[in-house]
């Protein structure tokens, strides 16, 4: 899939943010002897950023609404069908 416009910018931004977050100096900031529910803070940081990256990738990969090529059905005058249009003109 070729990304264009904002999708491409979103992908690059997510990549750079994750690259910075997984650098050893940033991880070292959270490598302290503190536990949350018995889990070391550094593990929570690593797996939290990983889950965040997966969620943001899924959000960025969603397809937008399909763009209509022609005018809507009501504007073309094809609202209610008559027996002529259903069976063909006789």
pLDDT digits (tens, 9 = 90+) for 46-80: 999 999 999 988 888 877 666 656 565 655 555 55
DSSP secondary structure, 66-85, as one string: PPPSS--HHHHT--S--HHH
Read off the DSSP letter of residue 2. -
Does 90 have pLDDT greater than 80?
Answer: no
Token couple for 17: 């943010």
Specify the higher pLDDT residue, 16 or 65. 16
Cα separation, 83 vs 25, in Å, equals 74
Q: At what angle do helices 6-21 and 41-61 cross, to 10 degrees?
A: 170
Range in 3-7, 10-14, 33-37, 82-86 the model is least confident about: 82-86
pLDDT the model gives residue 88: 57
pTM score, two decimals?
Answer: 0.59
């Amino acid at each position: 899939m070729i990304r264009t416009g904002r999708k491409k910018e979103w992908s690059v931004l997510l990549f750079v943010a994750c690259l910075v977050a997984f650098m050893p100096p940033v991880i070292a900031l959270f490598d302290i002897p503190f536990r949350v529910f018995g889990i070391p803070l550094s593990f929570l940081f690593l797996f939290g950023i990983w889950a965040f990256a997966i969620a943001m990738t899924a959000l960025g990969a969603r397809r937008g609404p399909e763009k209509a090529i022609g005018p809507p059905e009501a504007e073309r005058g094809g609202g209610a069908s008559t027996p002529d249009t259903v069976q063909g003109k006789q």
